[in-house]
Chain A
Amino acid sequence: MPDSTKLEKNRKSVRHQTFIMLLIAVLMFGFGYALVPLYNVLCDAFGINGKTGGQTAQSVVSSVDKHRTITVQFVSMNNAKLPWKFYPYRKSVDIHPGENTRVAYFAKNESGKTMVVQAIPSVAPSEAAKYLKKTECFCFERQTLADGETMDMPLLFHIDRDIPEDVKEITLSYTLFDVTGTKKSAPPEQRGKISK
């Protein structure tokens, strides 16, 4: 039969364990949030979610690999029925690795009001993402257009010579998101990075 001292001891240990378990619950709640930077770091390290590299690549002067030709296709999309016209002037280009290439997208705001948009890139196959180096891109900045205004949006890039042999075709897609009225935060390409 438990005497009163034993009961008291038991209650103390229950209280102690309850506290530890509440702490575990709070820590696991934090762990859920820790998954966010962890995910970004891992995706970045392995280049696996189709996001193109964050840093603006230096325009290369190194030699062009004339033995290989890679087809780069351009795709454009509007998120959530954004009332903009948005398309690439050329649907695809055939280029050699190391060759600097300039293309442009056309954009027109048909919404009836001034809008701010952000283009988000995605590359397929995703393992090609880190070999697609952009020197200049309209996706680096938010773009603002008044109603009816049009713009040619430039993209200057090259493909790294180290790209795996089996990649013959790369699709680069841009999705235009409405960011009017949202706070300007770090450009998406810089998000989740620990350095800088």
Chain B
Amino acid sequence: MSEQNTAAIGTEEDHHHHGPDNGKGLMGYVKRWVFTTNHKDIGTLYLWTSCIMFFIAGTMALLIRTELFQPGERLLDPDFFNQMTTLHGLIMVFGVVMPAFVGLANWQIPLMIGAPDMALPRLNNWSFWILPFAFILLISTLFLPGPAPNFGWTFYAPLSTSYGPPSTDYMIFAIHLLGISSILGAINVIATILNMRAPGMGLMQMPVFIWSWLITAFLLLSIMPVLAGAVTMMLTDRHFGTSFFEAAGGGDPVLFQHVFWFFGHPEVYVLILPAFGVMSEVIPTFSRKPLFGYSFMVWAIISIALLSFIVWAHHMFTVGMPVAAQLFFMYTTMLIAVPTGIKVFNWVSTMYKGALTFETPMLFAVAFVFLFTIGGFSGLMLAITPADYQYQDTYFVVAHFHYVLVPGSIFALITGVYYWLPKWTGRMYSEALGKWHFWLSAISLNITFFPMHFLGLAGMPRRIPDYALQFTDFNVIATLGAFVFGFSQLIFLVNIIWTIRKGKPATGQVWEGAHGLEWQLPSPAPYHSWEKPPNILPHHPRENEPSY
């Protein structure tokens, strides 16, 4: 801490002497990244890990779509197909969306609240370095004798207990590790936001991105231990003679679904709330207007988070539930549409009569608002209990959650990266490549996922490697779209690498309409920033203040 005090006395120029210590040679370089406690380094590590995982799980998605290009068992063994659907889901959720948002949190929270680093920097390092081991465990199952986990990402008992392959234990321990990593990360985020804000920044002056992460961290803290409990019960059922989910011993497989979805539903808000936060930063910037209805946005996030704990059984309407319970879960689920609707309307109101420009982050943001809403509507359809009996376990469900996750979470991540990349690297990305990336992605994802609605309504079940002939046309369209979408993401990768190497220098403010604290720093943000907390808070003006 004394070092920090000394540094705080220094002027801006001193910062250039405080870069990372790269040591000597390869070992020095490795040590720098393994032992780093700098929030920017750790944010970068999270983001690159997520990027690698994105291409691994994306390849699995393309294998799935290739198999489904035509009916009949064409390419993959059905058991391998099941392994692909399982690992694609697990890696996309735990290896792509979650670490990428934690990466954004690591980079942006200290910059945006005027803190020198996260509150618990060494814990931060540990949170990240648990992840590679978890994913090595999980992905190694593909290369071991016997099948990898093959029961779907929801690993329902008894498929994952009595019938699970030996590799299930690898998955269980991978999830334990991921849980520890997420819980420690969440503790760090909460401690940082509650203690490290610049003087004068009250809770209701925080950027919405910070609010969204504060709430997300509380969700993580509450649900990851429940998931850890669920997989521990699986483990003891498999090896230590307990019968939590084993009917022969007095357990009940349906109990697994309750425990899993008690974790699983808040989890989907862990995947989307930070996305809401990113949108609430980007849309005002490119509308050159303050965010419409700031306090409503904050309370909407809080109420979504609270409601998420009492809706879980809408994932399992068909397991056999009393009518009263079905009605309860149907109504509470539909109630979530109210705060979500508030958010969508407020983004649209922010854009209304704004001086809009459509740089790449804004293009992705506008597509997010529109396409996420489609996913929200299909969610409402699924919430209707009697209709859900028709949609349960069909491609309609697949269409629904891909609409909220791909143009939802993934687009928000892409938006965030394009928006803050100039701040991180000090260089502008290529707007031309960005526009190509956007248009190809936006069009191809609709070609991929929109036909899945029709397939589901017509009765095609999910998680099957083969299907009846009448589903062929829409499956062909979906596969073609998937390949365009998958390869379009390489443009993103090329653009990021090009930016780092050759991008034109960016200014400190980067965007004309950007007003947060992070834009007061020079670009690239110095390795040690805000050692002296900012005195003025230019911060996110409210709608009743004079507009810019």
Bound-state CA distance A185–B243 (Å) is 10
Least CB distance, A95 to chain B, in whole angstroms:
24
Given the interface pairs A25-B221, A48-B320, A183-B241, the reply to whether A17 lies near B249 with Cβ below 8 Å is no
Is there a chain A Cβ closer than 8 Å to B478's Cβ? no
Given the interface pairs A26-B225, A28-B223, the reply to whether A49 lies near B183 with Cβ below 8 Å is no
Interface centre among B162, B233, B320 (most CB of A within 10 A): B320
Given the interface pairs A1-B533, A7-B1, A185-B250, the reply to whether A18 lies near B191 with Cβ below 8 Å is yes
Given the interface pairs A17-B194, A80-B162, the reply to whether A118 lies near B258 with Cβ below 8 Å is no
Given the interface pairs A186-B250, A192-B250, the reply to whether A126 lies near B320 with Cβ below 8 Å is yes
Residue numbers in B under 8 Å from A164 (CB-CB): none
Bound-state CA distance A1–B230 (Å) is 47
Chain B interface mostly: helix
Which residues 202-230 of B sit at the A interface, judged by CB distance below 8 A? Answer: 221-230
Interface centre among B233, B243, B247 (most CB of A within 10 A): B247
Bound-state CA distance A27–B229 (Å) is 11
Bound-state CA distance A36–B250 (Å) is 11
Contact assessment for B228 and A13 in the assembled complex, using a CB-CB cutoff below 8 Å: no
Contact assessment for B259 and A32 in the assembled complex, using a CB-CB cutoff below 8 Å: yes
Given the interface pairs A14-B191, A17-B195, A25-B224, the reply to whether A118 lies near B322 with Cβ below 8 Å is no
Is there a chain B Cβ closer than 8 Å to A50's Cβ? yes
Bound-state CA distance A118–B251 (Å) is 13
Least CB distance, B192 to chain A, in whole angstroms:
9
Interface centre among A40, A178, A189 (most CB of B within 10 A): A40
Residue numbers in A under 8 Å from B325 (CB-CB): 48
Among A21, A35, A48, contact of B221 (Cβ-Cβ < 8 Å): A21
Residue numbers in B under 8 Å from A28 (CB-CB): 221-226
Among B162, B187, B190, B230, contact of A32 (Cβ-Cβ < 8 Å): B230
Contact assessment for B249 and A179 in the assembled complex, using a CB-CB cutoff below 8 Å: yes
Is there a chain A Cβ closer than 8 Å to B310's Cβ? no
Is there a chain B Cβ closer than 8 Å to A127's Cβ? yes
Is there a chain B Cβ closer than 8 Å to A111's Cβ? no
- Which residue of A has the minimal Cβ distance to B320? A126
Residue numbers in B under 8 Å from A48 (CB-CB): 320-322, 325
Least CB distance, B210 to chain A, in whole angstroms:
16
Least CB distance, A169 to chain B, in whole angstroms:
16
Contact assessment for B254 and A182 in the assembled complex, using a CB-CB cutoff below 8 Å: no
Is there a chain B Cβ closer than 8 Å to A168's Cβ? no
Is there a chain A Cβ closer than 8 Å to B255's Cβ? yes
Is there a chain A Cβ closer than 8 Å to B120's Cβ? yes
Which residues 86-131 of A sit at the B interface, judged by CB distance below 8 A? Answer: 118, 120, 126-127
Interface centre among B186, B248, B322 (most CB of A within 10 A): B248
Bitwise interface map of A from 158 to 171 toward B, beta carbon under 8 Å scored 1, else 0: 00000000000000
Interface centre among A33, A175, A178 (most CB of B within 10 A): A33
Bound-state CA distance A44–B442 (Å) is 50
Among B223, B248, B321, contact of A179 (Cβ-Cβ < 8 Å): B248
Bound-state CA distance A80–B161 (Å) is 12
Among A1, A31, A185, A189, contact of B532 (Cβ-Cβ < 8 Å): A1
Bound-state CA distance A127–B224 (Å) is 34
Contact assessment for A18 and B120 in the assembled complex, using a CB-CB cutoff below 8 Å: yes
Least CB distance, A39 to chain B, in whole angstroms:
5
Among A4, A30, A188, contact of B249 (Cβ-Cβ < 8 Å): A188
Residue numbers in B under 8 Å from A186 (CB-CB): 250
Bound-state CA distance A24–B186 (Å) is 12
Which residues 402-421 of B sit at the A interface, judged by CB distance below 8 A? Answer: none
Bound-state CA distance A33–B196 (Å) is 35
Least CB distance, A192 to chain B, in whole angstroms:
7
Bound-state CA distance A178–B247 (Å) is 11
Residue numbers in A under 8 Å from B225 (CB-CB): 25-29, 31-32
Residue numbers in A under 8 Å from B252 (CB-CB): 39-40, 43, 49
Is there a chain B Cβ closer than 8 Å to A61's Cβ? no
Contact assessment for A177 and B258 in the assembled complex, using a CB-CB cutoff below 8 Å: no
Bound-state CA distance A21–B182 (Å) is 13
Bound-state CA distance A29–B179 (Å) is 11
Contact assessment for B254 and A49 in the assembled complex, using a CB-CB cutoff below 8 Å: yes
Contact assessment for B195 and A13 in the assembled complex, using a CB-CB cutoff below 8 Å: yes
Bound-state CA distance A151–B221 (Å) is 54
Least CB distance, A21 to chain B, in whole angstroms:
5
- Which residue of B has the minimal Cβ distance to A19? B187
Which residues 456-491 of B sit at the A interface, judged by CB distance below 8 A? Answer: none
Bound-state CA distance A40–B222 (Å) is 22
Least CB distance, B237 to chain A, in whole angstroms:
12
Interface centre among B241, B249, B254, B259 (most CB of A within 10 A): B249
Among B120, B195, B226, contact of A31 (Cβ-Cβ < 8 Å): B226
Is there a chain B Cβ closer than 8 Å to A79's Cβ? yes
Bound-state CA distance A27–B228 (Å) is 12
Contact assessment for B248 and A120 in the assembled complex, using a CB-CB cutoff below 8 Å: yes
Among B5, B228, B322, contact of A46 (Cβ-Cβ < 8 Å): B322
Is there a chain A Cβ closer than 8 Å to B119's Cβ? yes
Is there a chain B Cβ closer than 8 Å to A191's Cβ? yes
- Which residue of A has the minimal Cβ distance to B222? A28
Residue numbers in B under 8 Å from A10 (CB-CB): 195-196
Bitwise interface map of A from 56 to 100 toward B, beta carbon under 8 Å scored 1, else 0: 000000000000000000000001100000000000000000000
Residue numbers in B under 8 Å from A192 (CB-CB): 250
Is there a chain A Cβ closer than 8 Å to B8's Cβ? yes
Which residues 127-154 of A sit at the B interface, judged by CB distance below 8 A? Answer: 127
Among B119, B196, B249, B259, contact of A35 (Cβ-Cβ < 8 Å): B259
Interchain residue pairs with CB less than 8 A apart (21): A13-B195, A17-B195, A21-B186, A25-B221, A25-B225, A26-B225, A27-B225, A28-B223, A28-B225, A29-B226, A30-B229, A31-B229, A32-B259, A35-B259, A50-B320, A118-B248, A177-B248, A179-B249, A182-B249, A183-B241, A188-B250
Please provide the 5 A-B residue pairs with the shortest distance between their CB atoms, ordered closest to farther.
A32-B229, A177-B248, A188-B250, A191-B250, A29-B225
Residues of A within 8 A of B (CB): 1-2, 4, 7, 10-11, 13-14, 17-18, 21-22, 24-33, 35-36, 39-40, 43, 46, 48-50, 79-80, 118, 120, 126-127, 175, 177-179, 182-183, 185-189, 191-192
Known: A14-B195, A32-B226. 17 other contacts (CB 8 A): A1-B532, A4-B1, A7-B1, A7-B5, A10-B195, A10-B196, A11-B1, A17-B190, A17-B191, A29-B226, A32-B233, A35-B259, A35-B262, A36-B233, A40-B252, A120-B247, A188-B249
Residues of B within 8 A of A (CB): 1, 5, 8, 119-120, 162, 183, 186-187, 190-191, 194-196, 221-230, 233, 241, 243-244, 246-250, 252, 254-255, 258-259, 262-263, 320-322, 325, 532-533
